[in-house]
A and B are shown apart, each in its own frame.
Chain A
Amino acid sequence: SAVISQKPSRDICQRGTSLTIQCQVDSQVTMMFWYRQQPGQSLTLIATANQGSEATYESGFVIDKFPISRPNLTFSTLTVSNMSPEDSSIYLCSVETVNTEAFFGQGTRLTVV
């Protein structure tokens, strides 16, 4: 298994500002993932973050809006840039272990006002 610490757990931000979300894992993992969960919705993959390479973004998500860092095998950050109320969501990081199980952080509830 993997224990994931995600910070902050929640934040209220002004539109036009940026927020960086941190994800720390208690073991080294190759692949880390960032998801968005809009209110009452399912999870949508934003991007896959691999150490040593640029993140791979899913359709509808771009690096300028959601820059991601992956400096080592236990840590990643997601920045939500130039925020608007439409960015109000829960953001979750996830890792996959060698036995193909995905574990999630506790999520960051972002409200943009």
Chain B
Amino acid sequence: AQTVTQSQPEMSVQEAETVTLSCTYDTSENNYYLFWYKQPPSRQMILVIRQEAYKQQNATENRFSVNFQKAAKSFSLKISDSQLGDTAMYFCAFMKPPRSYNTDKLIFGTGTRLQVFP
């Protein structure tokens, strides 16, 4: 079974600085997807970034980038130029495609609470 581990329950960073959130996972699959979701106090789960395992190039979305190390089963999220609005819970998630009926599910880590200070 697949598992996702986030070893940092809480992180803090000063505005405009850079922070990296860690995520490791365990799977025997070769092809899969990895995601980072953000959940602000509004409770809305927002997709931040995703990575396909077959792609060697690390995904980037504006200030958000990942360091995907497939052999090490590591998938960290780097937030550059942190903003106050980045304060939220961040969840790392794994999914084995295709997400067919009753066979695959989105597996979440336990989350990292990020606080951005002015």
Q: A100-B33, A101-B50 are in contact. Are A42 and B43 (CB under 8 A)?
A: no
- Chain A 52-106 interface residues, beta-carbon cutoff 8 Å to B: 56, 58, 90, 92, 94, 96, 100-104, 106
Judged by DSSP, the binding face of A is strand
* Distance of A43 Cα from B106 Cα, bound (Å): 9
Instruction: Establish whether residues B101 and A106, one from each chain, have CB atoms under 8 Å apart when the complex forms.
Output: no
Instruction: Establish whether residues A109 and B47, one from each chain, have CB atoms under 8 Å apart when the complex forms.
Output: no
Instruction: Establish whether residues B95 and A100, one from each chain, have CB atoms under 8 Å apart when the complex forms.
Output: yes
Q: A31-B99, A56-B101 are in contact. Are A43 and B91 (CB under 8 A)?
A: yes
Q: Which residues of chain B are within 8 angstroms of A107 by Cβ–Cβ distance?
A: 43-45
Count how many chain A residues have C-beta atoms less than 8 Å from C-beta atoms of the other chain.
22
How many contacts A-B (CB < 8 Å)? 49
**Interface status of B42 (Cβ within 8 A of chain A):** yes
**Interface status of B110 (Cβ within 8 A of chain A):** yes
Instruction: Establish whether residues B110 and A103, one from each chain, have CB atoms under 8 Å apart when the complex forms.
Output: no
Instruction: Establish whether residues B45 and A96, one from each chain, have CB atoms under 8 Å apart when the complex forms.
Output: no
Which of B35, B45, B91, B108 lies at the interface centre, i.e. has the most chain A CB atoms within 10 A of its CB?
Answer: B45
> Can you list 11 A-B contacts (CB < 8 A)?
A43-B45, A48-B102, A48-B105, A56-B101, A56-B102, A58-B105, A100-B97, A100-B98, A101-B47, A106-B43, A107-B45
